[in-house]
Amino acid sequence: MRRLVIGGARSGKSRYAEGMLRDAGVVDYVATSARRPEDAEWGARVAAHVGRRPAAWRTVETLDLPSVLGRQDPAPVLIDCLTVWLSRVLDECGAWPELPGYSEDAAERLHVRVDELVEAVRSTGRDVTFVTNEVGQGVVPASLSGRLFRDEMGILNARVADACDEAWLLVAGLPVRLK
């Protein structure tokens, strides 16, 4: 079973995804964010997520999602979240056109990473649930980097949703099955 749980900020998507796996026993919880010791607010958010997880869940901090999905392990996987994953991959690829370190081949390298992830989703033998943000329903971002992120996030979400068996939209804490 491959699932996508999508919604806006603070819509309840992580809680909903965690609830889907509450009785699964051992779960590989893949955290895609980087630790930021200098950011107390971010630390509080991470602590809240950690505090909700059952003791049997294993935390894996990585951006190498294809490797996790390729493991021969019966434990289901919860990846939280694709939005942070994409942001960090854009960083690694030097894709931000307004920042130093921008690379002319960034788009090509980004698309390779996304293709690898989508192929891993399609071929995994593990149950996997993805959490992601819907970022395309607001205003058009004013910056080139903002528009790049919004566009690439929409493309990634659509491709992963296509590869999943189920897709759920969380609105005001309420789940709506899309697929």
Residues 6+ apart with CB under 8 A from 155: 114
For residues 86 and 113, give the distance between their C-alpha atoms in angstroms, rounded to a whole number.
Answer: 9
Amino acid at 58: R
Cα separation of 92 and 72, whole Å? 28
Give dist(CA 87, CA 107) in Å, integer.
Answer: 13
- Whether 111 sits among the annotated catalytic residues: the reply is no
How far is Cα 36 from Cα 28, in angstroms, rounded to an integer? Answer: 22
- Residue tagged active-site, from 12, 15, 46, 49: 49
> Quick one: tokens of 123?
């071929």
Q: List the catalytic residues.
A: 49
